[in-house]
């Protein structure tokens, strides 16, 4: 069913792993801020999360209670989230860019008993609570929150206990709450460790938000699993990315395609990239244009490993192997740590090369959707397969190629057209920074194709020129009838362009 057999789960809990690292390598650095140079060793990590847990217990919180976090990136934020896992709380991620309506919904739906915030985020939490009629207490994070002595109290979490509640982006109605266990988190970190052959000598660069599954699991939990380390600035910045990475001595980084495109179209960075001990860069959360990938690799001399993951699978399910093994441009790779199957509508495997829905099974797959039995039953089959909603095919070597989303297919005159085909045609033009195609109602064909793009500053490219690019590559039938020029395309927390929000923003009839 797949090219790689699922690996045995690492076992235990995040707490077990932190304790083990503190015992085995107490003086090794785990967290650092590349801009200030401050660092946290594994011994510091264990001491600080124990102190943080003691502080929460002093507030009357018991293991198993739901505690939300509304935090920007940085070592303190990572410590707080790991402290929630360590103490056995149900950590609930608040997407800071989702808007007050969704923030209020998440706090109410999750039944959060406390929100951990910062000076920079507390006002947004208060506004969301006021609109939703909530009054969840807010703890503003300060450095001394980690300095309390360990009280030795609290029950130890089990591997199958709920650990993380993370809500999907909610592009089709209310977001769904994905429940991941302690074991799921470690399995997700182990999948990344296996795929990228991470060791104690590797240091990740974390620039994706910790309220997103990629940032949290791939660049925090995976280094914890491998015994390595992570450098974490407070945010992603094109102007400081390469300098931060070189100063911190990072060996790898994880970003999303929009960030790769921004770095590619910005000036400089080549010298810093060459100075850093980089082994590879990692792309996830959305398909990466082959043209953008190849241009980035040529310019910076850094191999990009394309991957695929979901919130429901604690991040990664597929990855290309590292060089010198075969990387197939345009594919997110082969399974690591789980099984992947291409299935028909009856969830039966289809022959290699045939398109179907991508299904996943393994120790990283979610427990369920919170308070949503119908959605859980639709997503999880009786024999444990998760239906991803993504369409793809598997080649003879076991590499998966994504062909589209079931819910995003453009059906023009009865023919299924994947928006990604149009996106990739547009990305072949050097002035395209962001691109997304979408469907519009059409009385003649049922649906027609339009697209939106962001261009490099000062580009003179015209709408007709971009339409002609698509026609040259795809033919007239699959090419957009209209292209909208925008200063920015709407994106979710992972950096993935949100087609539905784009349609709403452009006032395209539904």
Residues 91 and 82: their CA atoms lie apart, in Å, by 9
Specify the pLDDT at position 85: 98
**Alpha helix (H) residue ranges in 88-156:** 100-109, 119-132
What is the domain class of 408-505 according to CATH? alpha beta
Specify the pLDDT at position 258: 85
Categorize the per-residue pLDDT at 15 as very low, low, confident or very high, splitting at 50, 70 and 90: very high
Q: Which residues make Cβ contacts (< 8 Å) with residue 353, sequence separation at least 6?
A: 393, 394, 395, 396
Q: Where are the domains of the chain?
A: 14-394, 408-505
Q: Which CATH architecture best describes the domain 14-394? A: 3-Layer(aba) Sandwich (3.40)
Question: Is the predicted pLDDT of residue 7 greater than 60, yes or no?
Answer: no
Q: Pairing mode, if any, of strands 66-69 and 90-93?
A: parallel
Categorize the per-residue pLDDT at 499 as very low, low, confident or very high, splitting at 50, 70 and 90: confident
Contact (Cβ atoms closer than 8 angstroms) between residue 50 and residue 57: no
Is the fold of 14-394 the same as that of 408-505? Answer: no
Nearest partner of 69 among 57, 56, 50, judged by Cα: 56
Q: Pairing mode, if any, of strands 203-206 and 229-231?
A: parallel
**Residue found under tokens 């089990």:** 158
Residues 192 and 208: their CA atoms lie apart, in Å, by 15
Both tokens assigned to 317: 């399910």
**Residue found under tokens 């690799």:** 297
Question: What values do phi and psi take at 426, rounded to 5?
Answer: -65, -40
Question: Is the predicted pLDDT of residue 125 greater than 90, yes or no?
Answer: yes
**Residue found under tokens 């921004």:** 262
Question: Is the predicted pLDDT of residue 76 greater than 90, yes or no?
Answer: yes
Categorize the per-residue pLDDT at 442 as very low, low, confident or very high, splitting at 50, 70 and 90: confident
Residue 39, exposed/middle/buried by CB under 10 A (0-12, 13-18, 19+)?
middle
Element (H, E) at 468: helix 463-474
Element (H, E) at 501: helix 499-505
Nearest partner of 355 among 367, 365, 343, judged by Cα: 343
SS3 170: coil
Nearest-10 Cα torsion for 418, 421, 427, 433: 0
**Residue found under tokens 């592009």:** 171
Q: Which residues make Cβ contacts (< 8 Å) with residue 373, sequence separation at least 6?
A: none
Taking the model in full, what pTM does it have? 0.85
Residues 146 and 134: their CA atoms lie apart, in Å, by 27
Categorize the per-residue pLDDT at 498 as very low, low, confident or very high, splitting at 50, 70 and 90: confident
Element (H, E) at 375: helix 373-379
Contact (Cβ atoms closer than 8 angstroms) between residue 238 and residue 262: yes
DSSP string for residues in 220-272 = IIHHHHHT-EEE--SS--TTTHHHHHHHHT-SEEEE-HHHHHHHHHSS--HHH
Instruction: Tell me the per-residue pLDDT of 203-242, one tens digit each, with 9 for 90 and over.
Output: 999 999 999 999 999 999 999 999 999 999 999 999 999 9
DSSP one-letter code for 288: P
**Alpha helix (H) residue ranges in 25-163:** 42-58, 75-87, 100-109, 119-132
Residues 315 and 164: their CA atoms lie apart, in Å, by 13
SS3 20: helix
Nearest partner of 160 among 19, 12, 49, judged by Cα: 12
Specify the pLDDT at position 5: 42
Instruction: Tell me the per-residue pLDDT of 161-177, one tens digit each, with 9 for 90 and over.
Output: 999 999 986 544 688 99
Instruction: Tell me the per-residue pLDDT of 283-295, one tens digit each, with 9 for 90 and over.
Output: 988 778 888 999 9
Max Cα–Cα distance, the chain, nearest Å: 71
């Amino acid at each position: 069913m797949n090219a790689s057999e699922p690996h045995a789960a690492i076992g235990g809990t995040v707490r077990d792993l932190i304790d083990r690292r503190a015992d085995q390598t107490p003086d090794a650095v785990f967290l650092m801020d590349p801009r200030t140079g401050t660092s946290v060793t594994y011994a510091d990590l264990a001491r600080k999360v124990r102190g943080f847990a003691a502080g929460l217990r002093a507030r009357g919180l018991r293991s198993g209670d739901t505690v939300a976090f509304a935090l920007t990136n940085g070592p303190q934020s990572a410590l707080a989230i790991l402290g929630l896992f360590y103490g056995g709380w149900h950590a609930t991620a608040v997407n800071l860019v989702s808007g007050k309506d969704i923030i209020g919904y998440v706090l109410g739906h999750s039944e959060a008993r406390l929100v951990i915030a910062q000076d920079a985020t507390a006002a947004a939490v208060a506004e969301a609570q006021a609109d939703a009629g909530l009054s969840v207490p807010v703890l503003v994070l300060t450095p001394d929150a980690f300095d309390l002595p360990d009280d030795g109290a609290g029950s130890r979490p089990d591997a199958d206990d709920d650990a993380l509640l993370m809500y999907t982006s909610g592009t089709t109605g209310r977001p769904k709450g994905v429940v991941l266990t302690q074991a799921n988190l470690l399995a997700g970190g182990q999948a990344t460790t296996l795929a990228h052959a991470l060791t104690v000598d590797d240091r990740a660069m974390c620039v994706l938000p910790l309220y997103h599954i990629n940032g949290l699991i791939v660049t925090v939990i995976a280094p914890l699993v491998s015994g390595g380390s992570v450098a974490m600035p407070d945010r992603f910045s094109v102007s400081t990315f390469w300098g931060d990475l070189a100063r911190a001595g990072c060996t790898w980084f994880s970003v999303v395609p929009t960030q790769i495109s921004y770095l590619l179209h910005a000036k400089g960075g080549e010298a810093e990239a060459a100075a850093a001990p980089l082994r590879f860069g990692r792309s996830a959360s959305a398909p990466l244009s082959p043209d953008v990938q190849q241009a980035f690799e040529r310019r910076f001399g850094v191999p990009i490993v394309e991957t695929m993951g979901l919130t429901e699978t604690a991040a990664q399910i597929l990855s290309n192997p590292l060089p010198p093994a075969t990387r197939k441009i345009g594919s997110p790779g082969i399974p690591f740590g789980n099984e992947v199957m291409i299935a028909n509508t009856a969830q039966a495997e289809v022959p290699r090369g045939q398109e179907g829905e991508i299904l996943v099974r393994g120790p990283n797959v979610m427990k369920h959707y919170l308070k949503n039995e119908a959605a859980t039953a639709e997503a999880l089959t009786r024999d444990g397969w998760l239906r991803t909603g993504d369409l793809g095919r598997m080649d003879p070597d076991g590499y998966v190629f994504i062909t589209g989303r079931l819910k995003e297919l453009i059906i023009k005159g009865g023919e299924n057209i994947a928006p990604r085909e149009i996106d990739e045609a547009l990305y072949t033009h050097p002035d395209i920074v962001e691109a997304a195609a979408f469907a519009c109602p059409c009385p003649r064909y049922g649906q027609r194709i339009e697209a939106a793009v962001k261009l490099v500053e000062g580009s003179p490219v015209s709408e007709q020129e971009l339409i002609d690019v698509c026609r040259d590559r795809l033919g007239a039938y699959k090419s957009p009838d209209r292209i909208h020029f925008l200063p920015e395309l709407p994106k979710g927390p992972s950096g993935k362009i949100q087609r539905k929000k784009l349609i709403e923003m452009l006032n395209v009839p539904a």
